[in-house]
């Protein structure tokens, strides 16, 4: 069986990854990831918020988030989904816009073009969650890492865990 993480060869010079086990079934983790109302609750580290999300969950479909700082500054991030395999993996890029149009400069995505993939693997009663982020060059990876990639993405995974834990409790 091909591992989804193999969709692109990981290059430590240009890529970043986070690998976690979430104590909730894949169905719940997938739902928290693909339902815009749920995604808004955990997508950015608090006290930041995500007041707007557009998701057309299909290859070529829009994936747009607006992140808002506590001071009200807004950051619009636009791109498209490049792959969607329900309850298994999802990938998106900021380098392309709907219609597979090249995005041009990276101003619409926080200044860094990237392609990201999330793998959702059953792990007993839980989910093995693997996030891999590809950058066009080492400088972009270093910039993303310096912006707090590991802390930020780690924090939002913990916020995701809060959401799926509540979903799990509601399902009982």
The pLDDT tens digits for 111-165 are: 778 899 999 999 999 999 999 999 999 998 999 999 899 999 999 999 999 999 9
- For domain 14-46+81-92+105-171, which CATH number applies: 3.40.50.1980, 3.40.50.2300, 3.40.980.10, 3.30.530.20? 3.30.530.20
Helix (H, G, I), strand (E, B) or coil at 14: coil
Q: What is the pLDDT of residues 81-106, one digit of tens each?
A: 999 999 999 999 999 998 898 887 76
User: For residue 78, what are its two tokens?
Assistant: 């636009």
Tell the burial category of 110 from Cβ atoms under 10 Å away from its Cβ (0-12, 13-18, 19+). middle
The answer, as to whether pTM is greater than 0.95, is: no
Domain ranges of the chain: 14-46+81-92+105-171
CA dist 131 and 121 (Å) reads 12
């Amino acid at each position: 069986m091909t591992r989804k993480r193999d969709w692109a060869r990981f290059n430590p010079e240009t890529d970043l990854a986070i690998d976690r086990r979430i104590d909730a079934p894949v169905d719940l983790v997938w739902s928290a990831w693909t339902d815009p109302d749920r995604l808004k609750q955990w997508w950015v580290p608090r006290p930041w918020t995500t007041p707007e999300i557009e998701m057309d969950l299909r290859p070529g479909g829009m994936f747009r988030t607006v992140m808002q700082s506590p001071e009200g500054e807004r950051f619009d991030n636009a791109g498209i989904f490049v792959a969607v395999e329900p309850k298994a993996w999802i990938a998106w890029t900021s380098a392309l816009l709907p219609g597979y149009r090249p995005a041009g400069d990276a101003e619409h995505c926080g200044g860094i073009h990237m392609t990201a993939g999330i793998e959702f693997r059953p792990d007993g009663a839980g989910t093995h969650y693997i996030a891999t982020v590809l950058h066009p060059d080492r400088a972009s990876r270093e910039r993303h890492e310096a912006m707090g990639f590991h802390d930020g993405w780690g924090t939002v995974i913990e916020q995701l865990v809060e959401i799926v834990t509540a979903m799990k409790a509601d399902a009982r």
